[in-house]
Amino acid sequence: MADEPKTKGGPVKLQIQLDEDIAQGAYVNLAMVNHSETEFIIDFIYVQPQQPRAKVRARIISSPKHTKRLLNALQDNIAKFEQRFGTIEAGAPPFVGDIVH
């Protein structure tokens, strides 16, 4: 039919759904990264000041290839941000150990 999208020979148009609760986002100030041979696990955590506990707000499990593409996208966007707004001073990690990446 003429109304059906054509996908043969051309790129597929991806429609992404964003549920309301996900659209709200979650503030995080710590990330822990672990990996195996087949996947990367990134935990996004919120640490409240002066509190001995922290809560994982999101866990992302991804293939090494996709994680590398994510790294490239982040590096590209940070470069564009710094070009527009100035250098981001990361400073020293606020936590002890190698859990901050």
Residue 56 sits at the vertex; the CA angle it makes with 52 and 57, to the nearest 5 degrees, is 125
Q: Is residue 92 a part of any domain in this protein?
A: no
At 101 the pLDDT is 45
In which domain, by residue range, is 63 found? 27-85
Per-residue pLDDT of the chain (101 residues; tens, 9 = 90+): 455 555 577 889 999 999 999 999 999 999 999 999 999 999 999 999 888 899 999 999 999 999 999 999 999 999 999 999 999 998 876 665 545 44
At 44 the pLDDT is 96
Domains held by the chain: number:
1
Nearest to 64 by CA among 93, 85, 25, 34: 34
Nearest to 31 by CA among 79, 90, 89: 90
Q: Is residue 75 a part of any domain in this protein?
A: yes
Q: Is residue 34 a part of any domain in this protein?
A: yes
At 51 the pLDDT is 86
Q: Is pTM, for the whole model, over 0.85?
A: no
3-state secondary structure of 42: strand
Q: Could you count the other beta carbons within 10 Å of the beta carbon of residue 22?
A: 10
Q: Is residue 31 a part of any domain in this protein?
A: yes
